[in-house]
Amino acid sequence: MTSPKKSPKNSRNLGIGDVISWSKKNNGIKGETTSARFELTVFEEHTIRVQISQSDSFYPNPYSTIITPKNISTNIEEKAEKQVWIKTSKIHLCLNLSPFFLTFQTPNGEIINQDDPAFAVSWLGTEVTNYKKVQKNERFIGLGEKTGNLDRAGRAYTNWNTDYFAYGTGDDPLYMSIPFYIGIHDQLAYGIFFDNTHKSVFNFGASNNRFIYFSGDDGDMDYYFFHDDSVPKIISAYSNLTGKMEMPPLWSLGFQQCRYSYYPDSEVTTLAQTFRDKDMPADVIYLDIHHMEKYKVFTFDGQKFPDPKSMIQALKAKGFKVVVIMDPGIKTDKGYLPYDEGKKKDLFVKYPDGQIYEGQVWPGWCAFPDFTKPETRQWWAEKMAFYNEAGVDGYWTDMNEPASWGQFTPNLIDFSYEGELVSHRKARNIYGFQMARSAMEGSLLQRPDERPFVLTRSGFSGIQRYAAAWTGDNVATEEHMMAGIRLVNSLGISGVAFAGYDVGGFAGEATKSLYARWMSIAVFSPLFRAHSMINSSDAEPWAFGEEVEEISRNYMKLRYRLLPTIYSSFYLSTISGLPLAKSLAVDYPHDKKIYLTGFQNQYIFCDKLLIAPVESTVEITKAYLPDGDWYYMYDSQLHQGNQVIYQDCPLNYLPVYVKAGSILALQSDISHTGESNDGILYMHIYQGREKTVHVHYEDDGISNDYKKGGFYKREIEWDSSEGRLIFNKPHGNFVSKFKKIKLYLHGDIKVDSAKIGELALESQYENVSFLGKLTEFDPLPEHDHPYYEIKGTVSFTFKHSIEEFSIDFH
């Protein structure tokens, strides 16, 4: 009998082994095991970095993180030559020496997260994996643009940026990779960001009941561990590490209309005029690939758009901004200036033998700029002068996974990667990230006094610093509408606060009811953009008949009235890194009901509004109201939290609830963000049980002056129990656009009078509606639409003073 053959060394699991030496270093320790070298570094009290490699050096990702370790108090202790402890005020990390494995604990000794002691960190060839024990009833959320349920438990996901047309609602991977998730168990929460740009896998218990794991095809085991006393603090810690978005231009928060494609120029100008004629507020029109000559970037088609500058000027006169698509593929035509320049300056991705790599995309065979090279990013930024001179306002970076026909880019091609020179395996996931960076830097180069707007399809952790994101080529179905909500909410958990989906669905054709419902939901999305595909029916808000047109108009107008609240929330997100569209798992992570499939799509918008999305085919739905009190937005009916309620949801009323104690700030109707309002800030005050603080923020909406004090920021405190509203003194040197304030009081607020100091305010009573009444096109009574008004709402109007003052209600 012959003995079995031994497998090659790299075909079986190689564990990290025992620690053979270790020593202290700044903010942590470093050492060696029988298989690898490691470093454990405290970045902040709530953040510890773990680096493990079989190489002599670490090869970190140069793109995602923006901070270095802080000099904080850290205790390092060795216990009985078996363990080394690193202790901060938030995390106690135990390194077991034989064998190597890590346990993260609270200062009270509760286990937050722990390696599987047998496997911990291991290698299969170049693949590196960290195996983690699963805690009892542990849930997992986040991971960016991933389909499936809110709770990721039981599934595995791949991070490999992929052009996926008409993806299914459970398909993976998609366009963007964000290897950051949050684990939740036993009233605890933690986050892990795996900072490795190779293809990676996160397995949250699929096909095994022993462990979860995350792995990279190659490179270092390099991850950041976060722990704090709440999920929002963990998201903020991750955002501190990878960066936060800056204030976007105000116009980018308005309605954006896109199609593949609008042409010729007469169709574009007709589109703009139709929005104005139909009194449907909008700010942005996109030019897709048909604006280009033979799909070549940095060109206009001379027949379809003979005078783009004049066309764009005409659009601006109507209050519209123009966003153009930019694909990375550069057609390999001699005489085409971008190709000739890129080749001469050695700016394209190449094979190892020096030949330029070519792939087929819209223009035909194309070369691809190496955006991991600083010289390429600078060149691209300079080329954007072509669009700036035409008057273009924003940039849409598409096909930047990078996409090519065949969907199988050779892995051997080389990328600069800031001088490291790496293969496609390491560079693919950050290619779109760096293209978006180039677009943002180009926008700033061309218009240094204006804020950039860049929308990207592809990205990696940190993309929020450069661009907003949308969820790619979705489909016009009820299931996709609901899946898009979860995608945006998951992106928000993962640091990307400015995100949205193609309203109405890109592929396929929406029914009338589906489009109406999608429009109503998208009003409460950070990015509000409609998009549809070539060779499909018209899909503008007026293209689905009179009823849908009126419903769309109502919700579009509501979006614009809500802009003072939305804009202030964007400002707060630039400070905290927290999402604007916030899954209930952020504020209520230990509430089991929020993970049920019937309620997992619900979310909080701008910290004040509970959105309960529902399919357009449903006329009555269940909504789960979490802890607290909630007012049905349209009639101010009060509901207690911690209960499931039945809610009518006719097509013209999306279930929305206002959190008790909230202050909603609205403005008058406007047709675009460049139009002046009536100068009155309409503030809806909701009775609650606790003191709350509303932050009202303004600036000019376009320049970077806000970074130099050109803003108006005011905290407004509402004490429901005392019936007192305090307007603290504003900060900043920007003059508010609102000269008066009109308060509306909702809930059981007993008011006979109100005073500012000794000045008595005159009360008024009026009927308030957030949505307009629909025209009854069909005379049959069974087709009547419901209409909600909050009758007899008490209101007070007064001058908007810059001094601190308070209002007492009696």
What is the C-alpha to C-alpha distance for residues 760 and 810, in angstroms, rounded to an integer?
11
CA distances in angstroms from 95 to 101, 189, 387, 577, 613, listed in the order given: 6, 20, 55, 31, 46
Nearest to 773, CA basis, from 756, 760, 757, 789: 789
Tokens of 792: 């007899």
- The rounded radius of gyration (Å) of the Cα atoms in the chain is 27
- Residues in CB range of 452: below 8 A, 6 or more apart: 249, 394, 395, 439, 440, 443, 444
Concatenated DSSP letters for 609-649?
EEE----TT-SEEEEEE-SSEEEETTT--EEESSEEEEEE-
493 three-class SS: helix
CA distances in angstroms from 771 to 556, 580, 603, 635, 654, listed in the order given: 10, 22, 21, 11, 11
Return the sign of the alpha-carbon dihedral for residues 429, 434, 437, 442.
negative
- Is residue 607 left, alpha or beta, with left meaning phi > 0 and alpha meaning psi from -120 to 50? left
Concatenated DSSP letters for 546-601?
HHHHHHHHHHHHHHHHTHHHHHHHHHHHHHH---SEEEHHHH-TT-GGGGSTTTTT
Residue 741 has φ and ψ, to the nearest 5°, of: -125, 135
257 three-class SS: strand
- DSSP H/E element including 272: helix 265-277
> What dihedral angle (degrees, nearest 10) is formed by the CA atoms of 665, 667, 672, 673?
-60
Nearest to 607, CA basis, from 575, 631, 641, 572: 572
- DSSP H/E element including 337: helix 337-344
Say how far residue 538 (Cα) sits from the centre of its chain: 28
Tokens of 3: 């003995």
What's the one-letter identity of residue 379?
Answer: W
Nearest to 438, CA basis, from 416, 402, 467, 470: 467
* Total residues found in the chain within this entry: 810
Quick check: bond before 60 cis, omega within 30? no
Residues known to be catalytic = 398, 401, 473
What's the one-letter identity of residue 219?
Answer: G
What is the C-alpha to C-alpha distance for residues 369 and 416, in angstroms, rounded to an integer?
11
